[in-house]
Chain A
Amino acid sequence: MARLDVKIKDLCLKNPVMTASGTFGYGLEFQDFVPLDGIGGIIVKGTTLAPRQGNDYPRMAETPQGMLNCVGLQNKGVDYFAEHIYPQLKDIDTNWIVNVSGSSPEDYAECAARIDVLEKVPAIELNISCPNVHDGGMAFGVTCAGAESVVKAVRERYHKTLIVKLSPNVTDITEIARAVEAAGADSVSLINTLMGTAIDIEKRRRVLSIGTGGLSGPCVKPVALRMVYQVARAVRIPVIGLGGITTATDALEFLMAGATAIEIGTANFLDPAVTIKVRDGINEWLDRHGVASVQDIIGCVE
C-alpha cells in the first residue's frame, strides 16, 4: 500500500481523488455506491448567495464521448446549504469543499464568508468559469483583471484554503492562473467545461435552451491534460487537474503532468462507483512500480 496523501496548502487529502462540482450532488446521492470517507475530497454543487433556478430545460445534449450541459448553477443558496445540507455532511470523514459562484466580487465574497464559518468545510473552490450564466461566472474568468477582482474580494473575507477553478475558454490559461496566484489563490483547479453547441437537424435549431453549453467527458481529456501541464509549470501553487478523467490511467497522466490532486466529474454518471476504482487503481500502479508515495510522481514528466 503506497502513500496516497497529498496537501493543497492547509488542505490534507487522504488521497488525491476528489469529485468535480455539479457531478456528485452533495455526495449523499452516491453513498449506496461508494464509501464517501474513501474519497479525498468532495466538491459539492455550485453554490450562490441567493437561490437560483438555473436555465430552462433542455439542459443537456449527448456528444461522442461526452456531453454538453447548460444547467446554469441551479441551487438553493448558501444559507440553505449551511442550515439543511451541511448538518448531514459534517460527520462524514472526507474534505467537504463548496464550489462558490456569484454575479459580482461582493457576491462571491459574502457567499465565501458564510462558508468560512462552517468548521468541516476546509476549502472552497471559486467558480469563475461557468459558461452557462450570463451575469458573472465565466465573465470573470476570461480576463486577468476580472479573475483578480473576484479572488481579491474573496481573499479578504475567506481564511481557509482557496482554490480557483479556471476556464479553458481563454487565449492563454497560464496568464489567468498567474493572475489568480498573485491575487492570493492557494490553488487552481482546471479545466471547467469547454463551450460548445449542438444542433437538432430535424427541428433545425440548437438543442440546448440557451443555445450553448459546457462540454465535458473523455472527449476533453487531451485538452485538459495539456492545460494542466502548462499551468503546473507557470505557477508555484498546487494545481488540481480535471477534465474527462474516467480511469486510474487518466488520473495518473494528470498527476504526472503536474497535478497534485484530480477531480472526477462526468465519469460519475457512467459509473457511480468510479471514484473508488480510480483511487484503488492509482494505489495499484504505485505498488506495481515500487513507488512509495503518490507525491513522488507528481509532475514527474518533462
Chain B
Amino acid sequence: MKKYILDLTVLSVQQIHERYVLVKLTSDDALPDMLPGQFVEVRVDGSNTTFLRRPISIHFVDYQKNELWLLVACIGDGTKRIGELKQGDKLNCVLPLGNGFTVSEGAKKVLLVGGGVGVAPLLYLGKVLKEQGCEPTFLLGARTGKDLLMLSEFEKYGRVMVTTEDGSMGEKGFVTNHSVLQNEQFDLIQTCGPTPMMKAVARFARQNTIECEASLENLMACGLGACLCCVEKTTEGNLCVCKEGPVFNIKRLLWQD
C-alpha cells in the first residue's frame, strides 16, 4: 500500500476523558486508503523533551466526510502536545503504516477485545467488518465505567459488552472473565490493549483453539522497518512491529507463558 507524508488539518480536539482526546483530521485532498489496524506516525514539534514521531492507531476513517480520527492517550510530553492542538492547526502525518487486522466476511463470528486506549483500532475494524456483512461483538474493558471510551460509537457497528475492574459498569473483572466467552463460540478474536490483557486473551484463544490476532505497540522510531528498534521475538526471529505488524497472529508470537 502506498504511503504518504501529509499535512492534515485539525478539525477538532475533543477531551473525552481526563487522559484521552479524540482528534479529528481532514485533508484538502481525498484521504488515502487505510486498513483497520494500521497506524499513523505523527510529527510532534515544539517539545524540548521529545524528538521522534508518535505512532498512533487509526481509530476511524470516514471517507464520506474525508475525516481521520485518532484516539490519543495524553501521557508523555509528545502526546500532550497532540492534545493541545487547536482547530485549523496542521499535523504532519506519515500514513498508512504497518499491516492491519484480517477482515473476515460473511457469517464468521468475530470478537473484538479492547482495553484502555487499545480500543482505538477496533472502531474502524468494526465498521469495516459490518460493511462486509460480519457484525462483530465488542468486548471492552477498563478500570471503571468512566474509562470506557466511545461506547456509543462502538454500538453503531455491533453488540457491545463491557467489563470494569471495579464493577461500575458491565460485568466486574477483566475482559477474560466475561461470561460471553463461556456462553458463545467465536471463530476469530482480534485484540488490542495492554500487553498483559492481550496475553490473557491469547491464552484463552489458544486453550479454545480460536484464531487470534493481537496488535502490538512496541516502542518505535521510524515506523517504516528501517531502524529495527521495535522488534518482537517471533517464531521467525526478531520482527519489526511497525512493518511486519503491528497486528500479528498469536501463532507467530512467543507468548506461550
Contact = CB atoms under 8 A, between A and B. Distances in A.
Interface residues of A, number: 31
Interface stretch (A64-72, A79-87, A104-112, A141-149): A64-72
A171 interface: no
Given A62-B50, A64-B49, A54 B228 contact: yes
A32 B96 CA distance: 11
Most chain A CB within a 10 A radius of its CB, from B52, B220, B232: B52
A270 B225 contact: no
A239 to B, nearest CB: 25
Q: Main secondary structure on chain A at its contact with chain B?
A: loop
A272 B224 contact: yes
Interface stretch (B1-9, B107-115, B155-163): B1-9
Q: Main secondary structure on chain B at its contact with chain A?
A: loop
Nearest to B232: A57
Contacts, number: 89
A40 interface: no
B14 to A, nearest CB: 27
Contacts of B4: 32
B224 A60 contact: no
Contact of A268 (B50, B51, B226, B228): B226
Interface in A265-291: 268-273
A64 to B, nearest CB: 6
B61 interface: no
Given A22-B228, A25-B224, A30-B224, A272 B51 contact: no
B56 interface: no
B48 A270 contact: no
Given A53-B237, A67-B52, A59 B243 contact: no
Contact of A22 (B51, B227, B231): B227
Contacts of A270: 43, 51-53
A42 to B, nearest CB: 11
A24 interface: yes
A29 interface: yes
A30 B122 CA distance: 28
A57 to B, nearest CB: 5
B236 to A, nearest CB: 11
Interface in B1-58: 2-5, 43, 48-53
B221 interface: yes
Interface string B65-79: 000000000000000
Interface string A37-62: 00000000100000001100111101
A58 B222 CA distance: 15
Contact of A60 (B43, B221, B223, B238): B221
B229 A71 contact: yes
B5 A60 contact: no
A65 B228 contact: no
B45 to A, nearest CB: 10
B94 interface: yes
Contacts of A247: none
Given A22-B227, A57-B232, A60-B227, 7 more contacts: A23-B222, A29-B226, A54-B238, A59-B228, A60-B230, A62-B51, A269-B221
Interface of A: 22-25, 29-30, 32-33, 45, 53-54, 57-60, 62-67, 69, 71, 74, 217, 268-273
8 contacts: A22-B227, A57-B231, A59-B230, A66-B51, A67-B51, A268-B222, A269-B223, A270-B43
Interface of B: 2-5, 43, 48-53, 94, 218-233, 237-238, 243
